[in-house]
Amino acid sequence: MYSIGQVSKMFNLPISTLRYYDKEGFFPYMERKGGIRVFTDKEIESIRVIECLKESGLEIKDIKLFFKWVGEGSSSYGKRKELFENRKKALEEELRKLSRIHAMLEFKCWYYETAVKDGNEDRINKMLPNSLPDDIQKLYDEAHK
């Protein structure tokens, strides 16, 4: 059992955010002792799920919906399964995008490393867009496809 302050430190989330999540209905079974919130492992796990769904790109209003389904019991297992499958697909798409972004960043690191060495961009510009060193060309092509 944890106080709101302990949970705040545990997840590095502001207390105000935890109270906001509570107001949104994300801790449907949380109890109070004399008006004060008591977080248990159930709520800790809920926070992990909230963070997970949020990072996967889901909006707060849809996370709300998920917790409504949880409240509906076993009849919503199917819906919940589908939600996670869709989130997994969406995250995988996002990861592919970020991989292209990463190639661009690596290319740019090489670009400016070379520019610093040369004092100008002339030599680089002569190599663009098709005569870059092999490994750099791969990054460039990945970033520009």
Q: Nearest 10 degrees: CA dihedral of 63, 68, 70, 72? A: -160
Choose between 11 and 111: whose C-beta lies nearer to DNA: 11
Among 1, 10, 20, 133, binds DNA (CB under 7 A): 20
Distance CA 94, CA 100 (A): 10
34 touches DNA by CB under 7 A = yes
- 119: partner contacted, choices a copy of itself, DNA, none (Cβ within 5-8 A by kind): a copy of itself
- Report, in this order, helix, strand and coil percent for the chain, each rounded to 5: 75, 5, 20
Give how far Cα 112 sits from Cα of 65, 115, 124, 131, 133, Å.
47, 5, 10, 17, 15
35 contact choice in DNA, a copy of itself, none (CB below 5 to 8 Å, kind-dependent): DNA
| Positions in the binding site for a copy of itself (CB under 8 A) | 48-49, 51-52, 55-56, 74, 77-78, 80-81, 84-85, 87-88, 91-92, 94-95, 97-98, 101-102, 104-106, 108-109, 111-113, 115-116, 119-121, 143-144
Of 54, 73, 66, the closest CA to residue 26 belongs to 66
Q: Are 64 and 24 in contact (CB under 8 A)?
A: yes
- Report the 10 Å Cβ neighbour count for 140: 23
Binding segment for DNA (CB under 7 A), chosen from 33-41, 71-79, 90-98, 127-135, is 33-41
Q: How far apart are the first and last CA of the chain?
A: 52
| Residue 1 vs 98, nearer CB to a copy of itself | 98
Which of 17, 28, 77, 129 touches DNA (CB under 7 A)? 17
- Residues in touch with DNA (CB under 7 A): 3-6, 8, 14-17, 19-20, 23, 34-37, 54, 59-61
